[in-house]
């Protein structure tokens, strides 16, 4: 399953964007949070480990 972002917890810091090896995550400035491209996500968990507030999970 692709990574899921808890939009209420996400601070849009961009750490997950930097850690994603396939560039499947962007920061949506309008929404104020990270957004995962589910078609590109490879479920590696790098974003989950990197998130300083625990707002992203790979299930």
What DSSP string runs through 7-54? TTT-----HHHHH-TT--EEEETTTTEEEE-TTT-----HHHHH-TT-
Over range 29-48, report the average pLDDT: 97
Q: Which residues pair with 35 in a beta bridge?
A: 26
Task: Supply the range of the domain harboring residue 45.
Answer: 3-58
Over range 4-12, report the average pLDDT: 97
CB 37 within 8 A of CB 47: no
For residue 20, what pLDDT is reported?
A: 98
Is the predicted pLDDT of residue 49 greater than 90, yes or no?
yes
For residue 11, what pLDDT is reported?
A: 97
CB atoms within 10 A of CB 36: 19
pTM: 0.92
CA distances from 35 to 18, 45, 46 (A): 13, 15, 15
Over range 3-25, report the average pLDDT: 97
What's the domain count of the chain? 1
Over range 16-27, report the average pLDDT: 98
For residue 39, what pLDDT is reported?
A: 96
CATH of the domain at 54: 3.30.70.20
């Amino acid at each position: 399953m692709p990574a899921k972002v808890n939009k209420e917890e996400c601070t849009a810091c961009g750490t997950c964007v930097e850690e994603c090896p396939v560039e499947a995550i962007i920061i949506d400035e309008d929404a104020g949070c990270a957004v995962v491209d589910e078609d590109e996500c490879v479920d590696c968990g790098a974003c989950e480990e990197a998130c300083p507030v625990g707002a992203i999970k790979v299930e």
